[in-house]
Amino acid sequence: MIEIRRFSDLGAFQNEWLNAHYHFSFSHYYDPARMGHGKLRVWNDDTIQPQTGFPPHGHRDMEIITYVRSGAITHQDSMGNKGRTQAGDVQVMSAGNGVQHSEWNAEDENTTIFQLWIEPAQTGGNPDWGAKAFPKADRSGEWATLASGRGDADALPIRQDAAVLGATLKAGEQLDYEVKAGRYGYLVLAAGSVELNGEVLHARDGAAITGAATLTLKGLEDAEIVFVDTI
């Protein structure tokens, strides 16, 4: 089954520095029908104003993946890590038994991100953080595994039987994906528009896939896709 979730139907929050849209229940947005999808618990679509961001705060027992769509995000944490992740690249923080971190837009332009939370296979463990560049040219017309708990060599590690994939499609190109029985898929367009199994998706629309399905994506205009496959 494929359920389309339009950007206009997402939960929303806005203050003086953050414009956020929530695919699942988060913070003050609560929808009992949208508490997660398999082990995927959060998919937030955030626009952060220049020279602002999330001040230091804590997490535990969550895999937190940040996909930067435009601008850059600067990360700092209680493990001593600090790094700047720019558009098209990815960072992963395994919160483990507890970590404090901040995420800051130190740029002179808006930064836009997708932030995903995936529940880990086991609680506890030492926290960890890493970031990696994923050039869009390397995933043109094909899937690239950005983060994975399945041993994919070039992916950032996460602690769950799940994978975060990215691809770009030119208008007229086609890309397929098989969601296996017993698994869950969640797809969001970062940019552009595609046809997914006959349904048109525009930038920032989502699609929740439950159970076995053959996904066929056709580029209607140049598109950037982020996809999660999880138990």
Which CATH number applies to 137-230? Answer: 2.60.120.10
- Whether domain 10-134 has CATH 2.60.120.10: the reply is yes
Give the start-to-end residue ranges of the domains of the chain. Answer: 10-134, 137-230
User: Hey, do 10-134 and 137-230 end up sharing a CATH topology, with the first three levels equal?
Assistant: yes
pLDDT over 70 percentage in the chain: 100
Please classify residue 124 by burial: count the beta carbons closer than 10 Å to its beta carbon, then call 0-12 exposed, 13-18 middle and 19+ buried: exposed
> In this predicted model, what pLDDT tens digit does every residue of 24-83 receive, in sequence order?
999 999 999 999 999 999 999 999 999 999 999 999 999 999 999 999 999 999 999 999
Grade residue 219 by pLDDT with cuts at 50, 70 and 90.
very high
Question: What is residue 39's predicted lDDT score, i.e. its pLDDT?
Answer: 98
Instruction: Determine the average pLDDT of the residues in 181-205.
Output: 98
Grade residue 91 by pLDDT with cuts at 50, 70 and 90.
very high
